[in-house]
Amino acid sequence: MAPLALKNVVKSYGIYEAVRGINLEIEDNEFVVFVGPSGCGKSTTLRMIAGLEHITGGEIVIGDQVVNRLGPGKRDIAMVFQNYALYPHMTVRENISFCLEQQKLAKNEIETRIERAAETLHITELLGRRPGQLSGGQRQRVAMGRAIVRNPKVFLFDEPLSNLDAKLRVQMRTEIKRLHQLLPTTTVYVTHDQIEAMTMADRVVVMNGGIIEQSGPPQELYHRPVSQFVAGFIGSPAMNFMSATLLGDSSGLVVKLADGSELPVPVSRMVEYARHAGKPVVFGIRPESISGRQARQGFADVEARIDLVEPLGPQTMVYFGIGEANLCACIDPEQSPRPLSTMPLSFNMNQMHLFDPANGRSMALV
């Protein structure tokens, strides 16, 4: 168990920079999730931490030791892969014990660690089976058991749930979170699934184009995204975006949409945005911030043309158009409209976001 630091870490493949000078401090026992689209550099970063990729520049520090020149076996890390990487000819017990035997631990110590890990992961009854006799979820538990028996300084997870079905993914991410609570260890987890990131992490690191776009607790990224990219990536369904113009002055502001609709900016948000009056903006609002008409302060009403309705039980997804923009709202099932009808909807402007169309940055931070 140890802190982990990335200091101006760079990874280049010829003239292509996959990771472009990232800096990050991960605290001892912290659970950090790297998330982002394919090609953003998250898996490359994980592989550099593991020692499976040589870094082009910068430093990786585990505890108080710079590990740039250390091989994977000397970094005191344990990695769980996407494809489990179990030995098919060995039993579960033999798979878990293999790395401990390589360390030449005493047999009684090996058995104690195996039994403890198997009990923690609920795989005691599987110890005599081979991987081919196990389900995907059981294989993933065995892979985690092989990692935790090593008592490493750092756990690394490389998209470990991507091969599982939807129901099992939910179950396994709960298991991994529970495991971290039982055995607190510095953990770096890589995924392309923002729901995994939001539900599991102490801190989420959003990567984009080889850089860290934003790093923070899940709720901070959800409520205060620094860019349109983060706002659109975090949250499901994704945030709605519309081209607009911010009009007015410090005495009153409105967001004017392309179809001419004007949405008043609440007084509580004017301090953030008054200096941008008269500028083109990208107006962002999450589907869950749009509801059936609300006669409440800070809500702005629009008439929406309903294109599609998706009942989901506790909520209904409504897809609608305003001008040329196609939007989504999560509304109360009792308010469900009919497709191809019109419906009054209210935007909670207390939860709106404005972004600079030139660079995608949040205008609340400029």
Phi, psi of 89, deg, nearest 5 = -85, -5
What is the C-alpha to C-alpha distance for residues 28 and 290, in angstroms, rounded to an integer? Answer: 40
What is the C-alpha to C-alpha distance for residues 318 and 331, in angstroms, rounded to an integer? Answer: 7
State residue 366's pLDDT score: 67
Pick 4-233's CATH classification: 3.40.50.300, 3.40.630.30, 3.30.70.141, 3.90.79.10. Answer: 3.40.50.300
Is residue 325 within 8 A of residue 305, CB to CB? The reply is: no
Going 128 to 133 to 139 to 141, the CA torsion angle's sign is negative
* Residues of the chain predicted below pLDDT 70: 1, 294-295, 366
3-state secondary structure of 45: helix
What is the C-alpha to C-alpha distance for residues 54 and 180, in angstroms, rounded to an integer? Answer: 28
What is the C-alpha to C-alpha distance for residues 110 and 94, in angstroms, rounded to an integer? Answer: 11
State residue 26's pLDDT score: 97
Residue 32, CB-side half-sphere exposure with 13 Å CA sphere: 26
Region class of 39: left (phi > 0), else alpha (psi between -120 and 50), else beta: left
* Residue 325, CA distances (Å) to 25, 230, 283, 348, 360 in order: 40, 20, 11, 18, 18
State residue 295's pLDDT score: 65
Q: Which residues of 16-34 are buried (b: 16+ CB within 10 A; e: fewer)?
A: ebbbbbbebebeeebbbbb
CATH number of 240-355: 2.40.50.140
Q: Tokens representing 7?
A: 């200091």
Neighbours of 150 (CB within 10 A): 17
Specify the domain boundaries for CATH 2.40.50.140 within the chain: 240-355
* Residue 38, CA distances (Å) to 109, 207, 249 in order: 41, 10, 42
Hey, which residues does 35 pair with through a beta bridge?
191, 206
State residue 1's pLDDT score: 66
Task: Quote the crossing angle between the two packed helices 166-182 and 136-148, to the nearest 10°.
Answer: 20
* Residue 63, CA distances (Å) to 4, 29, 30, 270, 299 in order: 6, 12, 13, 45, 50
State residue 29's pLDDT score: 95
3-state helix, strand, coil in the chain (%, to 5): 30, 35, 35
Query: Residues, the chain, total?
Result: 366
Specify the domain boundaries for CATH 3.40.50.300 within the chain: 4-233
**151: Cβ contacts below 8 Å, ≥ 6 apart:** 113
What is the C-alpha to C-alpha distance for residues 244 and 283, in angstroms, rounded to an integer? Answer: 6
State residue 136's pLDDT score: 86
Q: Smallest Cα–Cα separation from 344: which of 305, 310, 311?
A: 305
* Residue 238, CA distances (Å) to 55, 119, 143 in order: 34, 39, 33
Give the strand order in the sheet containing 316-322.
290-292, 342-348, 299-311, 316-322, 325-331
